[in-house]
Structure 1
Amino acid sequence: MGKIKVIGPQEANGEITISGSKNSALPILAATLLTDERIILNNIPNLADVNTMIEILENAGKKVTWQDSTLIIDTVSDINSILPYGPVRRMRASFNVLGPLTIRNKYAKVALPGGCSIGVRPVNFHLEGLKKLGIESQIEHGFTHSKYIGAPDKTHISLPFPSVGATEHLITTAVLLENTETILTNCAQEPEIIDLCNFLISMGAKIEGHGTSNIKIHGVKQLHGTEYTIIPDRIEAGTYAILGAVLGKEITLKNIIEDHLFSLLDIFEKIGINYKMKKNTLTIKGISKLELSPVDVETATFPGFPTDLQPQLMVLLSLIPGRSSVTENVFKTRFNHVDELNRMGAKIFVESNTAIITGVSKLSGAPLEATDLRASAALLIAALIADGETIINNVDHIFRGYERLFEKLENVGLKIEYYE
């Protein structure tokens, strides 16, 4: 795993264009297994996780070709429902291929997924929902073995928790259950789920209620090819927005959907961050920390504040005079970055699932260890504002979620050095 060296403090000034959404691209790529016809996907970020999903599709019998930020996906052999351990273990979203493969071939064998170490994320919601769709599964030796035994004419699945992954997985599976009406309740409502549903509808799926907690699906016999453009990445946008608040002289972010950032912008207003939103462009001016106010934040599923921005926001709150707090309600042990920030001089105390943050006047460079994707981004922001040299070890997590990272940082005048 590589390292990043940063000499701070630095100031950011310039423009960044936000890439396509990783968290939309992954479930949409998994859903391309539902048809043998050509799929063209635009605005796809070239990221490690996306390339892992491409490897999974290629193992399943697809041919995937890059053309700039467009992927062309064709079927070149019979769909294979037995996938190797290697690529599947690298990320959570890979598990979403289980249902589509089982429906296509009546059976599947898929490894249990991996991903960032940010807390327990069991697959039982997925498997219990798939069972109601007619898919029986058992786990043996680290693999999920599934077989399709037939779906009922009508089924109702109420998720115990509005899980994004389970919601996406069940939607993607149910759309190809011909003559079956599926009603999903307590669904996640993230923009990426709406994007997935719009993609499936463009293929001929019949879906109602996406974007709400109740979704109805009328299964169809087959889906056809399509061309589709995915939404911009709201987590990348939020990360650079927080970077702008911490470091910015003035940063302009293009390709933004304001409604997707509402919870973060609401926090900016409470803190006193100066920003302007016009059409699809967000401009942020960094201001004196003395003018800012502390806040209390709780993570939640959309439209609440996203857990994927919690580590980055904590860097900003660490520099605000007074006492702030962050309560983590999604992945309750997602505080691996706290010890590293404290090594830089932050004052953060964790009790249960709440971090109590007392603002400090500055951070100091230190050797750090990155533990996951979003923690890596948070530590990079901290390193850029800290006095002196910081070396972030094990930093390659960051390339799973931030396309053309070095280029975008250079666009706003920030300098970092990467080495292995």
Structure 2
Amino acid sequence: MSAIRVTGLLPLEGEISIQGSKNAVLPMMAAALLHRGLTVLTNVPKIRDVACMTRILEHLGCACICRGSSIFMDAREVQRTEIPEEYVRSMRSSIIVLGALLGRLGEGSCCYPGGCLIGARPIDLHLAALKSLGAQICEEEGIIKAVTRTKKGLEGTEILFAYPSVGATEQALLAAVLADGVTVIRGAAMEPEISQLCHFLNNMGAVICGTGTSTLMIQGVQCLKDSTFRVEGDRIAAGTYGAAVMAAGGDITLKGIRPSSLRLPLMLLEQAGAEVDCAEEGRTLSATGIGWEQEGRIRIRREGRPGPLNLKTGPYPEFPTDLQSPFMAFLAAARGTSRIEERVFEERFGTVGELVKMGASIRIEEKTAVICGKYPLRGACVKAADLRGGAALVVGALAAEGETIIKDCGHIERGYEDICRDLSALGAGIGWIGE
């Protein structure tokens, strides 16, 4: 299915459950390679990136069985160490498999990763971390080959990141779990997905301290154990649907999502005029409250046009770059003038041209998008250039008069189980067309 048709200006009403987290489950699947046994993940989203990571694991010798929203991974027979180019080119997060292969087998190789076209996203921090742990890196004709320098394998060390890269932090964690001695990661990313990965690894028998902070300490262990772990709800999917109700208006409830992982986006939705309530074990708190539990639900209500916002993207707990495009889309139909400064990926504004086709008034001033709200937007034929940009076009279409056709929606399927299913359940006029 490659295209989506949206009929706009229909309010959203009702409640939906949020899928498991894309950005959390992929490094967990890679981590399954570290254990010579069975690893089970539940609440796994049925998305293209999970299917891609499954094929990578199977190529390496890991037996994978999917049953409903669970995946069973048996890595006892893993022997291959080369990740096929066809998978690495299509999904950037495949690069973190290198750390797991080095920890388990002492070597690994792959080409430079691909993924969405949202900027350079160099992997120098990944390679520097692996070198610090004792890997020898060789780069020839676009192929990265990594081997441990001694038969003893990787060795614990101190790693200092100049920038809190999520992928590089995951890479270092996976490589350090089976390394000899203690590894300390300073300047680590603090995104909720990193905390989930640490909890998951500890559940497998790893010893990781400092979860949720910028300093992680890993005591290397000799082996891991069979385990089962539930993936948390996807905060980016939840934030996207929050942006959708801001664009369309209405009253929705999102279930199975931890509100604390979205504290700043929810505060900004309130600032833009929404009513936001977060329920935790029978308690109802405002989005600016404290004391969140692990799971909960979020209710978002919006009447009238939303107000303008000024926001800047940045590493957690700052505003997530993955929600920049969906927020831009609803702000294109808001009152007044909004400003978004992109400080993570230089090409996250790739969706601006498509939103302009829908009548949006957006101009780019270096790293800042200036958005003059217009309502309603107008239906048009547009094209998704990347995962979050495609979701943003869906959000914009909800505030557009008439019909919008969004092409190349395979990007959206990389991270959303079924955006049409979820939004149509809330009353949106949306559906897949074509094959």
1:333 corresponding residue in structure 2 = 347
Q: Give the residue type in structure 1 aligned to 2:182.
A: E
Going from structure 1 to structure 2, the CA distance change for 1:136 and 1:278 (only over 3 Å counts) comes to same
- Find the partner of 1:399 among 413, 419, 434: 413
State the distance in 1 between where 2:361 and 2:277 align: 31
State the distance in 2 between where 1:224 and 1:252 align: 38
2:165 corresponding residue in structure 1 = 163
How far is 1:343 from its partner? Answer: 1.2
The answer to whether the Cα contact below 8 Å between 2:240 and 2:326 also exists between their aligned partners in 1 is yes
2:200 corresponding residue in structure 1 = 199
Q: Give the residue type in structure 2 aligned to 1:395.
A: C
In the TM superposition, 1:97-112 aligns within 5 A as 97-112=97-112
1:228-276 deviation line (CA, Å, top 9, x unaligned): 1111100001001111122132111111211001011111122111222
How far is 1:406 from its partner? Answer: 2.6
State the distance in 1 between where 2:9 and 2:270 align: 25
Q: Give the residue type in structure 2 aligned to 1:160.
A: A
State the distance in 2 between where 1:198 and 1:103 align: 19
1:26 corresponding residue in structure 2 = 26
How far is 1:320 from its partner? Answer: 1.8
The answer to whether the Cα contact below 8 Å between 1:61 and 1:78 also exists between their aligned partners in 2 is yes
2:300 corresponding residue in structure 1 = 284
- Count of aligned residue pairs for this structure pair: 417
State the distance in 1 between where 2:103 and 2:42 align: 27
1:172 corresponding residue in structure 2 = 174
State the distance in 2 between where 1:366 and 1:78 align: 49
State the distance in 2 between where 1:24 and 1:310 align: 19
1:353 corresponding residue in structure 2 = 367
State the distance in 1 between where 2:427 and 2:376 align: 21
How far is 1:142 from its partner? Answer: 2.3
State the distance in 2 between where 1:124 and 1:10 align: 46
Q: Secondary structure at the match of 1:416?
A: strand
Q: Secondary structure at the match of 2:246?
A: helix
State the distance in 2 between where 1:4 and 1:385 align: 15
The answer to whether the Cα contact below 8 Å between 1:125 and 1:166 also exists between their aligned partners in 2 is yes
State the distance in 2 between where 1:313 and 1:296 align: 11
In the TM superposition, 1:17-416 aligns within 5 A as 17-75=17-75, 77-150=77-150, 154-178=156-180, 180-279=181-280, 280-289=296-305, 292-416=306-430
Q: Secondary structure at the match of 1:161?
A: coil
How far is 1:111 from its partner? Answer: 2.1
1:254-306 deviation line (CA, Å, top 9, x unaligned): 112110010111111221112221121111122111xx432210001111110
Q: Secondary structure at the match of 2:63?
A: strand
How far is 1:153 from its partner? Answer: 5.7
State the distance in 2 between where 1:417 and 1:407 align: 8
State the distance in 2 between where 1:414 and 1:356 align: 28
The answer to whether the Cα contact below 8 Å between 2:191 and 2:315 also exists between their aligned partners in 1 is yes
How far is 1:169 from its partner? Answer: 0.7
State the distance in 2 between where 1:138 and 1:47 align: 33
Q: Give the residue type in structure 2 aligned to 1:383.
A: A
Q: Secondary structure at the match of 1:312?
A: helix
The answer to whether the Cα contact below 8 Å between 1:272 and 1:293 also exists between their aligned partners in 2 is yes
How far is 1:222 from its partner? Answer: 1.1
Q: Secondary structure at the match of 2:362?
A: strand
State the distance in 2 between where 1:357 and 1:323 align: 5
**Structure 2 gap ranges (5+):** 281-295
The answer to whether the Cα contact below 8 Å between 1:248 and 1:284 also exists between their aligned partners in 2 is no
User: Alpha carbon RMSD of aligned pairs, Å?
Assistant: 1.4
Task: State the 4+ residue runs in structure 1 displaced beyond 3 angstroms.
Answer: 150-154
- TM-score relative to the length of structure 2: 0.93
Going from structure 1 to structure 2, the CA distance change for 1:232 and 1:152 (only over 3 Å counts) comes to closer
State the distance in 2 between where 1:384 and 1:358 align: 18
Q: Which moved more, 1:5-14 or 1:204-213?
A: 5-14
